[in-house]
């Protein structure tokens, strides 16, 4: 039996979802399935003989044009393009239910953050129209993580308080540690997935690092746009002149040839002097973690991987970063990390020496 969490909001396992899809429900009108596959065939594989009718409403891919949310055309998310974000379909008895399915495995390294916006919005909409069951396989980790995020966002609760509140309804919920860490990030970003936030940028780098460590090919499509390409520079200049005097977009240029190699928005900030142990850094609770930035001078800046870094695409663990125009040595990259002069470890690291670049406005 599903557990009631809030009015019109239930949590359950795959058995609860199958029961409602097969026989209908007087109460539940919407289902959010969070399983390793978004396909309804997952249910027949789980219990042979079970077939559930569906009629597709839409499938939305990361970067796909069908998407109406900002994830669609933004290069700044950790998912790679062409990956399914979600599918939406009429499902179950008489096709009366609306089912959103999100492909997510229950693994600590799994990227929960990038699915949260669509999931939480769907829960909101469903509760206005009827009642929703959020389910995963066991009803313990994935569905609990998503409902915890939902309670955090709608009730402005900390991760701990939201989870504790959920446990009042369903005492055995237990999101995996990777999900809990991402929910902490959600809290630190003000209950929204803010892709400009340094916390998100660090997360994105770590996801890329995980892809590299799994031995998957890293290609330029996963990198940020090259801010030094003429077309993009022109469009930046147009943008700047349209907003005359109000926008200054700091850019890093190769000291030797003046080519733009990074924009301020590509920079992944770190706290000077802080030792890095992957995700542990955000656990510091006192004030703004970046407020000490001026106290210790760092000799390097660290940026996200950009499309001009062709040496990175060759697949080596580490290597030089050279200017795409004059080939001057600008810095170094290392998937296992580089220590900044301030003592902080950045992992993975794409480093520009401050002595090799100038900062100016585009």
Q: Is 66 left (phi over 0), alpha (psi -120 to 50) or beta?
A: alpha
User: Which CB sits closer to Zn ion, 138 or 328?
Assistant: 328
**What are the start-end ranges of the E strands in the chain?**
3-6, 9-12, 30-35, 54-61, 84-91, 97-103, 132-135, 250-254, 260-263, 300-302, 318-322, 329-334, 338-339, 345-346, 349-353, 357-361
Alpha carbons 321 and 331: distance in angstroms, whole number: 5
Among the listed residues 139, 272, 305, 331, the single contact to Zn ion using CB under 5 A:
272
Q: Are 262 and 352 in contact (CB under 8 A)?
A: yes
Which range touches Zn ion (CB under 5 A), out of 162-170, 178-186, 254-262, 352-360? 254-262
Judged by CB under 5 A, which stretch of 29-37, 38-46, 113-121, 296-304 contacts Zn ion? 296-304
What is the strand order of the sheet 132-135 is part of?
Answer: 3-6, 9-12, 132-135, 30-35, 97-103, 84-91, 54-61
326 contacts Zn ion (rule: CB under 5 A): yes
Active site (catalytic) residues: 136
190: DSSP letter: T
Q: Tell me how far apart the alpha carbons of residues 284 and 338 are, in angstroms, rounded to a whole number.
A: 22
The 3-state secondary structure of 60-92 reads EECCCCCCCCCCCCCCCCCCCCCCEEEEEEEEC
Asked if 257 is part of the footprint of Zn ion (rule: CB under 5 A), the reply reads yes
Contact with Zn ion (CB under 5 A): which of 31, 52, 140, 342?
342
Nearer Cβ to Zn ion, position 115 or 302? 302
CB 320 → Zn ion: shortest distance, Å? 13
- Which distant-in-sequence residues (6+ apart) come within 8 Å of 194 by Cβ? 200
Considering the complex, what minimum distance in angstroms separates the CB of residue 326 from Zn ion? Answer: 3
Residue 256 binds Zn ion, judged by CB under 5 A: yes
Residue 176 is inside which H or E element, if any?
A: none
Q: How many residues bind Zn ion (CB under 5 A)?
A: 13
If binding is defined by CB under 5 A, does position 225 make contact with Zn ion? Answer: no
Choices 109-117, 233-241, 310-318, 332-340; region in contact with Zn ion by CB under 5 A: 332-340
340, 349, 352, 362: which one binds Zn ion (CB under 5 A): 340
* Residue selected from 132, 323, 357, 362 as contacting Zn ion according to rule CB under 5 A: 323
Q: Does 290 bind Zn ion (CB under 5 A)?
A: no
Please give the backbone phi and psi of residue 308, each rounded to the nearest 5 degrees, phi first. -80, -10
By CB under 5 A, is residue 262 in contact with Zn ion? no
Q: Tell me the helices (H) and strands (E) count for the chain, helix number first.
A: 9, 16
Stretch that binds Zn ion, among 81-89, 198-206, 209-217, 258-266 (CB under 5 A): 258-266
* 349 part of the interface to Zn ion, by CB under 5 A: no
Please report how close the Cβ of residue 155 comes to Zn ion at its closest, in angstroms. Answer: 37
Judge contact between 143 and 43, C-beta under 8 A.
no
Residue placing its CB nearer to Zn ion in the complex, 93 or 353 = 353
Q: Check the CA dihedral 334-202-271-108 and report its sign.
A: negative
> Quick one: 34 or 338, whose CB is closer to Zn ion?
338
Q: Is 190 left (phi over 0), alpha (psi -120 to 50) or beta?
A: left
Q: Between residue 69 and residue 128, which ones bind Zn ion under the rule CB under 5 A?
A: none
Residue among 122 and 308 whose Cβ is closer to Zn ion = 308
Question: Considering only residues 254, 271, 352, 357, which one is a binding residue for Zn ion as defined by CB under 5 A?
Answer: 254
Smallest distance, Å, CB 237 to Zn ion? 20
For residue 198, state whether it binds Zn ion (rule: CB under 5 A): no
Distance CA 247, CA 232 (A): 16
* Shorter beta-carbon distance to Zn ion: residue 218 or 328: 328
Between 110 and 274, CB nearer to Zn ion: 274
Where along the sequence are the contacts to Zn ion (CB under 5 A)?
A: 254, 256-257, 259, 272, 298, 323, 325-326, 328, 340, 342, 344
């Amino acid at each position: 039996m599903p557990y009631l969490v809030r009015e019109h909001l239930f949590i359950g396992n795959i058995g609860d979802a199958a029961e409602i899809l097969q026989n209908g429900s007087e109460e539940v009108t919407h289902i959010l399935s969070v399983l390793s596959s978004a396909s309804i065939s997952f249910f027949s594989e789980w219990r042979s003989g079970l077939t559930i009718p569906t009629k597709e409403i839409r499938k939305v891919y990361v970067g796909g044009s069908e998407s109406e949310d900002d994830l669609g055309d933004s290069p700044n998310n950790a998912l790679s393009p062409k990956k399914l974000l979600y599918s939406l379909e009429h499902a179950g008895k008489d096709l009366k239910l609306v089912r959103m399915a999100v492909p997510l495995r229950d693994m600590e390294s799994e990227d929960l953050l990038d699915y949260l916006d669509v999931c939480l919005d769907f829960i909101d909409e469903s509760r206005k129209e009827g009642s929703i069951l959020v389910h995963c396989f066991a009803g313990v980790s994935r569905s609990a993580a998503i409902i915890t995020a939902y309670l955090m966002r709608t009730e402005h609760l900390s991760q701990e308080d939201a989870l504790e509140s959920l446990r009042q309804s369903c005492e055995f919920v237990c999101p995996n540690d990777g999900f809990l860490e991402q929910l902490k990030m959600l809290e630190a970003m003000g209950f929204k997935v803010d892709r400009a936030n340094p916390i998100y940028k660090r997360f994105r780098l770590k996801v890329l690092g995980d892809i590299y460590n799994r031995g998957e090919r890293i290609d330029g499509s996963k990198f940020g746009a090259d801010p030094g390409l003429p077309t993009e520079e022109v469009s930046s200049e147009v943008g700047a002149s349209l907003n005359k005097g109000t926008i200054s977009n700091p850019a890093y240029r190769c000291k030797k040839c003046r080519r733009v190699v990074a924009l301020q928005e590509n920079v992944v900030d770190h706290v000077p002097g802080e030792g890095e142990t992957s995700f542990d850094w955000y656990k510091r609770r006192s004030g703004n973690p970046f407020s000490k930035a001026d106290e210790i001078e760092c000799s390097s800046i660290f940026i996200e991987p950009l499309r001009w870094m062709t040496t990175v695409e060759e697949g080596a663990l580490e290597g030089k970063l050279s200017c795409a125009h004059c080939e001057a040595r600008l810095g170094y990259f290392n998937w296992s990390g580089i220590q900044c002069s301030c003592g902080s470890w950045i992992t993975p690291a794409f480093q520009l020496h401050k002595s090799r670049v100038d900062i100016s406005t585009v």
